[in-house]
Amino acid sequence: MEILYNEIPAGVGSKGKIRLTGEDERKLLLNGARWAVERGYGAVSDLERIESGGCIEGANPDVISQKAYERGRAQQGTLGSGNHFLEIQHVDEIYDKNAADEMGLFHGQITIMIHTGSRGFGHQVCTDFLEVMEKAAVKYRIDLPDKELACAPFNSPEAQDYLAAMRAAANYAWANRQCITHWIRETFQRVFMASPRDLGISLIYDVAHNIAKIEEHTVRGKKMKLIVHRKGATRAFPPGHPELPDIYKRIGQPVLIPGDMGRASFVLLGTEKAMAETFGSTCHGAGRVMSRHQAIRQAKGRSIWREMEDMGIIVRSAGRGTLAEEMPEAYKDISNVVDVTHNAGISKKVARLRPLGVVKG
Amino acid sequence: MKFEILDISGDAGIRAYGDKCEDAFVNAGIGMYSLITDLDKIKEGQDIEIEAKGDSSEGLLVAYLNELIFRFDTYGFVGKRIEMDFFSLQHSAYYIKAKVRGEEFDPDRHERRLLVKAATYHNIRVQKINDKCEVEVVFDI
């Protein structure tokens, strides 16, 4: 864990190992994880196991502000902070043996989970476009209950530019996770002095947790093209969906649902019912029950690090505060959340993963 | 303290006060920096100049705080003192020009608190109450 913590930049004020030139950053925004693989981060075979092949078409580097370029330059290949994490886990329960076999999951198997996104780059895109949208809302006479909900009609130039910028941010995120995946593999190879083949660290899936996409859905019996926003939601496409790669056509799309650092995370599968009832979507994670400050107050005088160690979980964290904010009881029990989606039929459980080691920002 | 931290599930906010709005804006900036790190450990060794403009008082507050966040997230600069060289909340120009004194964040010497990603418009408030000014802003964490 110590070596992983040193190899994967995490936390407030951490610097990435990659410095992007302007031209590089443009290519990255257009090509996402493909850019990373071309640069030697990971394998071509990873790409088919990433949502949209790790690259969403229609990104436009020309609509990105200079500030966003600057902010993104040194943050590629960094974990970030807050609820972002890197975990080493083990499979302790299989619910669907057939699907688990297809994914290469079995009882006792070690898994690694990465939760991060487009970092400061994506935030700068959001900040920049909030300003654009605020003006657009006035221009198109949209009455807003909260300024934070600023928006524009889909076919307006403002919205189309935003869509192209958001796609660039999605590509930044896919590249980011791909670089981190690569360094994790390298670290394991070094520590265990084993070849990639011996270790067999293969990607199960990479799914966006915060994105808007144009998709075809059936609404009142009619096929329609819709823009589906998944904010705090995860795509959960059923078996046979045309967007899925061949390896998952038969069982459906793997869905990764992270829980808090003490309890568990889950692998699920997308379903037809999700397609019919929730526009091919399921939950995002556990969700907080305590605000950050409440959690810090509750953690006063306690050593969360020690408590986790007593549970058999090694934690490395850049910030002391982060650990308190992220302590298990600050979150809902992920098992209950996942059971709701399973029983509702919008995604079905395949495996439960228990944390062994955690890197927090 | 001329500011307080607001308890919001999942995010964090600041309420800042001042005799004038100029002061409340300064205190909001310092309050935000205190979410990022322990300001007692920050030295005033470096000066940066920032500019921000908006279409309203609230818009200016968001733009100004986002500029400070940008300087931190991109160049690691943390401020300890903010001096307004120009501050206008006139309808003709919502504009700030300021000098920020502080230093570059060093994870070995400085405490890591929250990674503040952006200032938002959610429940934002810039208000004059009996000759005093009070501002409130929620950050995306």
How many structural domains are present in chain B?
1
- Residue-averaged pLDDT of chain B: 95
Q: Is the pLDDT of residue A123 over 70?
A: yes
Determine the average pLDDT of the residues in B111-117.
Answer: 92
B63 SS3 class:
helix
Distance CA B106, CA B119 (A): 23
Closest by Cα among B21, B20, B39 to B81: B39
Residues of A with CB under 8 A from a CB of B: 11-15, 67, 70-71, 73-75, 80-82, 120, 123-124, 126-127, 130-131, 134-135, 146-148, 150, 288, 290-294, 318-322, 361
CATH number of the structural domain spanning residue B81: 3.55.10.10
Cβ atoms B78, B113 nearer than 8 A: no
Identify the residue whose tokens are 């059923």: A238
Q: Which residues of B touch A130 (CB under 8 A)?
A: 121
pLDDT in the model for residue B1: 64
Distance CA B18, CA B31 (A): 13
Closest by Cα among A119, A108, A109 to A78: A119
Q: Is the pLDDT of residue A211 over 90?
A: yes
Domains of chain A, CATH where assigned: 18-80+116-200 (no CATH), 83-111+207-361 (3.90.1860.10)
- Cβ distance B121 to A146 less than 8 Å, yes or no, reads yes
Q: Is the pLDDT of residue A263 over 90?
A: yes
pLDDT in the model for residue A322: 83
From the list A12, A70, A73, which residue is nearest B115 (CB)? A12
Could you read off the pLDDT of A17-27 as tens digits, one per residue?
A: 999 999 999 99
Q: Which residues of B touch A135 (CB under 8 A)?
A: 55
Q: How far is CA A361 from CA A196, B7, B21, B65, in A?
A: 27, 21, 35, 23
Indicate whether this complex's ipTM tops 0.90. Answer: yes
For B83, other C-beta atoms within 10 Å of its C-beta total 10
Catalytic residues of A: 284
pTM, entire model? 0.95
- Which residues have C-beta within 8 Å of that of residue A317, sequence separation ≥ 6? A11, A305, A323, A358, A359, A360, A361
Q: How would you classify the pairing of strands B125-129 and A110-115?
A: unpaired
Question: The domain containing residue B25 runs over which residues?
Answer: 3-140
Cβ atoms B141, B114 nearer than 8 A: yes
pLDDT in the model for residue B90: 92
**Tokens representing residue A4 in the block:** 């992983």
Q: Is the pLDDT of residue A323 over 90?
A: no
Q: Could you give the percent of chain A with pLDDT greater than 90?
A: 88
In the DSSP assignment, the letter for residue A331 is B
Helix (H) or strand (E) holding B86: strand B77-90
Could you read off the pLDDT of B69-94 as tens digits, one per residue?
A: 999 999 999 999 999 999 999 988 99
